[in-house]
Chains A and B, each alone.
Chain A
Amino acid sequence: KAGVTQTPRYLIKTRGQQVTLSCSPISGHRSVSWYQQTPGQGLQFLFEYFSETQRNKGNFPGRFSGRQFSNSRSEMNVSTLELGDSALYLCASSQRQGGPYEQYFGPGTRLTVT
C-alpha cells in the first residue's frame, strides 16, 4: 500500500496570505489527523477528521480550519498567515479513531511565512 502523502512538501508564503495543505491517507484509512511541529512548541495536535466530520480539535485559533472529503483525503487551511505559523505540518492517517489504531504519518509540509 502507498503511504500517507502530503502536498506540497515545501511552501513559502507572505504574512497575511492564506494557504491550503493537502493530505491523502493510506487506502482504507478513514481517520486523518493534523499536527503542527515547531522547535519551540514541539508537536501539537490541530484536528482530526473521521468520515468527513471533525471529531477532535486542538487549541488553535479559528484561522486554522480543515475538511475531509468522501474519499478520506483531507485539507487544512490557514488564513491570515502570521510569522508564528511557520512550521512543519504533519498529517497522519489511521483506520479509525482511538488508541488501538496506529497512526501513520506523512512526510510533512514545511511552511515558511515571511
Chain B
Amino acid sequence: AQTVTQSQPEMSVQEAETVTLSCTYDTSESDYYLFWYKQPPSRQMILVIRQEAYKQQNATENRFSVNFQKAAKSFSLKISDSQLGDAAMYFCAYRPTFDYGGSQGNLIFGKGTKLSVKP
C-alpha cells in the first residue's frame, strides 16, 4: 500500500524568508502524481502545485517550487519570499496515474505540516 509521510508537524518562517517542507512517500508504481495542498484556517483545500512522476523537471508555480527526487521517493515544497497569507496546513498527497479501483485509487495524504509565518 502506498503511504505518504510528512515528518515536520509544525514549521515557522519569517516573512520574506524561504522555507522547505518535507515529504516522503512509498510506492511500487512507476507512474503517479504528487501534489501539495494548502488548507488555510478557512478550511478550503487548495492545490498549490503538482508533479508528474515521469517528468524529471521540478514543477514551479510562482513562489512555490518542488524538489522531486524519484529514486529517493522524496517530494519537498519550497516557499520563497514567504507571505503572511502562506500560513496554513500543507498536505503532501499521492495519486496513482491509473485507477485500479479498491481503496488506493484516490488521493493519499500525509498528516500535514502546520506553517506559521512571523511578521
Binding site for B on A (CB under 8 A): 33, 35, 42-43, 45, 48, 55-59, 88, 90, 92, 97-100, 102-108
State whether A98 and B107 are in contact (beta carbons under 8 Å apart), knowing that A56-B102, A105-B45, A107-B43 are contacts in the complex. Answer: no
Bound Cα distance from A88 to B102, whole angstroms: 23
Is B44's beta carbon under 8 Å from chain A?
yes
Q: B106's contact among A45, A102, A106, A108, by CB below 8 Å, is which?
A: A45
In the bound assembly, the distance between CA atoms of A108 and B97 in angstroms comes to: 26
Q: Is the CB of B106 within 8 A of A43?
A: no
8 smallest CB-CB distances across A and B, nearest first, come from A99-B33, A105-B45, A56-B105, A43-B109, A99-B97, A97-B99, A99-B95, A45-B106
Q: Which residues of B contact A (CB under 8 A)?
A: 31-33, 37, 42-47, 50, 52, 91, 95-99, 101-112
Q: Collect the chain A residues with CB atoms within 8 Å of residue B112's CB.
A: 42-43
Q: How far is the CA of A108 from the CA of B40 in the complex (A)?
A: 13
The CA-CA distance from A45 to B50 in the complex, in Å, is 19
B99–A107 contact, CB under 8 A? no
- Distance A107 CA – B42 CA, assembled complex (angstroms): 8
A4 and B34 alpha carbons, distance in the complex (Å): 22
Is A98's CB under 8 angstroms from B91's CB? no
User: Are B105 and A48 closer than 8 Å at their CB atoms?
Assistant: yes
Q: Within 8 Å CB of A92, what residues of B?
A: 45, 107
Please state if A56 and B106 are interface contacts (CB–CB under 8 Å): yes
Closest to B109 in A: A43
Cβ of B99 and Cβ of A98 under 8 Å apart?
yes
| Residue contacts A-B, CB under 8 angstroms, 16 given | A33-B106, A35-B107, A42-B110, A55-B101, A56-B99, A56-B101, A59-B103, A98-B97, A98-B98, A99-B32, A100-B97, A102-B50, A103-B47, A106-B44, A107-B44, A108-B43
Residue of A nearest to B112 (CB): A42
**Apart from A107-B42, A107-B44: 14 A-B pairs, beta carbons within 8 A:** A42-B111, A43-B107, A45-B106, A48-B106, A56-B99, A57-B102, A97-B105, A99-B33, A99-B95, A99-B96, A100-B97, A102-B47, A105-B37, A107-B43
Q: Is the CB of B107 within 8 A of A45?
A: yes
